[in-house]
Amino acid sequence: MLSIGELITKVQSLRLARTVAPLAARWPTVLSSRMIASESTAAVAAPAEQQKKVVKTSKAMKSYLERAKAHDEFMRIQNTEFKLGKRHLANMMGEDPETFSQDDIDRAIQYLFPSGLYDKRARPMMKPPEEVIPQRKAAEFDETGRPFHSMFYTSRPNYSKLLYDVVENINNLNGFEDRMMRKQLKPDESQKLEASGSEWIHKDALEKILLEDLTDIEYDNFVLAMERLLQHPYSYREQEFINRYRKPLLAKTDADQLPQPQFDADGRAFVTVYECLRKTARADVTVTVPGTGKITINGQNITYFEAIQSREQVLFPLVFADMVNKVDIVANVEGGGFAGQAGAIRWGIAMGLRSFVDADT
């Protein structure tokens, strides 16, 4: 016989078993439904998060892209016009357009548009657009507007970076010099850089390299910094960096070598200048010293030129050098018009007089 307490305990355990059994049977279904619900919620939330991560293009990048697109379109049109003009020019010269090179273009322009201008940059030319139109700087920031260059906010990052590199090279050379001094070693004088045959590039050339506009003060600061680097005892270690911003001076040896006078049967000195060019005119001019001021042009006197202006052209070098009635001139000229022939003779007289006057004249 069970006591009343034991009977109550058994009844409670039976009731608990009847309550837990259905829940245990249903538990996997509840778990699976909750997992499905959480997965579906995550799947729905994923596109929303992706939409939130879409990066908006900054106004600066939009403005740059618009300018770059307009520039590319402009360059495309210019290239098309250049190629079309190249074909027309080749047809005019009777050449094959497919093999018509830039050298052929330069010779054709010089033939069709002869010019006596001293500065070649002022003469007519036909070059590819990439050589004539200034280059544009690439985008200096990403789509969010964040600049690529660490010195972007200096307003001239390339110029600032150049000065930074100069100072860094000087510091490196100073450190190397300290190490050599501790070893009691002196710099080799034979390796010292020579600056006599070259000079620093001009301001406009530096601006083309940096793609930035510089003031005169900024260019002077660049020259001072580079001079300090050049004067360092161990500057030869940075020779490649220094030569990048130097250009050789034009050799004047050939230009300063004057033709030596020869002597005729009468013992008079004379100089003959050949191939005197002016437009399409060609002349050979002989200057004889001493003389009586006699001028012979193609067997005639100065009245060979009917125009007063052409006569003045021929006489100008003699008047300028104060050699009127002191020399004799014999000129043979052909080709071109009277103005071109007078210019060719004038050039020949001026070149011939150099051997008979001092350098100051």
pLDDT per residue as tens digits for the range 33-73:
555 555 555 555 555 555 555 556 667 667 767 777 887 88
Same domain, 41 and 106: no
Question: Number of folded domains in the chain?
Answer: 4
Rg, Å, the chain Cα set? 43
Same domain, 169 and 233: yes
Residue 93 placed within a domain? yes
Residue at a domain's end among 69, 100, 132:
132
State how far the Cα of 10 lies from the Cα of 20, in Å rounded to an integer: 16
Residue 141 placed within a domain? no
- Beta strand 328-334 with 262-263 is unpaired
Domain that holds residue 73: 59-132
Provide the CA 352 distance to its chain's centre, in angstroms.
39
Write down the pLDDT at residue 328: 94
Q: What CATH number corresponds to the domain at position 326?
A: 3.30.230.10
Token pair for 152: 């972007």
Residues sharing a CB contact under 8 Å with residue 263, sequence separation 6 or more, in sequence order? 269, 270
Same domain, 158 and 128: no
State how far the Cα of 220 lies from the Cα of 96, in Å rounded to an integer: 50
Residue 49 placed within a domain? yes
Residue 202 placed within a domain? yes
State how far the Cα of 186 lies from the Cα of 3, in Å rounded to an integer: 115
Write down the pLDDT at residue 246: 93
Residue 137 placed within a domain? no
Q: What type of residue sits at position 207?
A: E
Write down the pLDDT at residue 3: 60
Same domain, 194 and 109: no
Which residues of the chain register pLDDT less than 70? 1-58, 60-61, 64, 136-149, 250-256, 360-361
Residue at a domain's end among 225, 248, 271:
248
Does this model's pTM top 0.85?
no
State how far the Cα of 22 lies from the Cα of 125, in Å rounded to an integer: 98
Token pair for 222: 């660049």
Residues sharing a CB contact under 8 Å with residue 72, sequence separation 6 or more, in sequence order? none
User: Quick one: which of 341, 353, 273 has its CA closest to 304?
Assistant: 341
Same domain, 44 and 72: no
Write down the pLDDT at residue 187: 87
